[in-house]
Structure 1
């Protein structure tokens, strides 16, 4: 598929898809005319990248952990420095805090909705 279709399927601007390519997060094939050709599997990859970015991970870390998200999982330890491990541990804890906050907010909204529906 072309970049426009991938952009539509993932709700991601083409410019952002090209940025992911520059960062080494996506690797489309190139046709003879230079057009990018994206494999169907890259739809899931883009959604993974967006989710990790939304969770606050920087692209340099995403690039290192993306291979671990493939099926079957391929784990690479070549670049796992003590600093990287510490960063991942900090990021994991930060995501856990955010999940707890989002869960509390969701529960509050659900309670509010239930109360509003009772009155309706």
Structure 2
């Protein structure tokens, strides 16, 4: 299938699909005319990539761990190896720190907005 069809079937833009290819996450064949020709299995692969990006992984991390991605009836999940677990914990800690910072800012905003 060509890039437009894969984009339509996955909800990823053609630009995103080209970016995934540039980052070594997708490997489409090329037709004799030079068009990208995607395998039906790339639909699952794009879903895995999108899920991992949505969880906060960078494309470099995804490239290292994409082979750990699995699809099940509840969507994409990862078989955790120690290095992946450490990276996911680091992302979670970063998000916790950001959440605490936002909460503190919200409290400061509340205190200056409602003081008369």
- Match of 1:62, SS? helix
TM-superposed deviation, 1:38:
0.2
How far is 1:86 from its partner? 3.4
TM-score, normalised on structure 2? 0.64
Q: Determine the C-alpha separation between the residues in 2 that align with 1:54 and 1:70.
A: 16
Matches within 5 A, 1:83-98: 86-91=86-91, 93=92
Give the 3 Å change call, closer, same or farther, for CA 55–70 of structure 1 in structure 2: closer
Q: Which residue of 1 aligns with 2:17?
A: 17
1:53 to 2:48 alignment? no
d(CA) in 1 for partners of 2:33, 2:60: 30
Paired positions, count: 88
Q: CA deviation at 1:67?
A: 1.3
Unaligned runs of 5+ in 1: 98-120
Which is strand-richer, 1 or 2? Answer: 2
DSSP-derived class of the 2:46 partner: helix
Within the alignment, does 1:30 sit opposite 2:41 as a pair? no
Moved over 4 A (4+): none
Which TM-score applies when normalising by structure 1? 0.62
Flag structure 2 segments of 5+ consecutive residues without an equivalent.
72-78, 97-116
Equivalent residue number for residue 42 of structure 2: 42
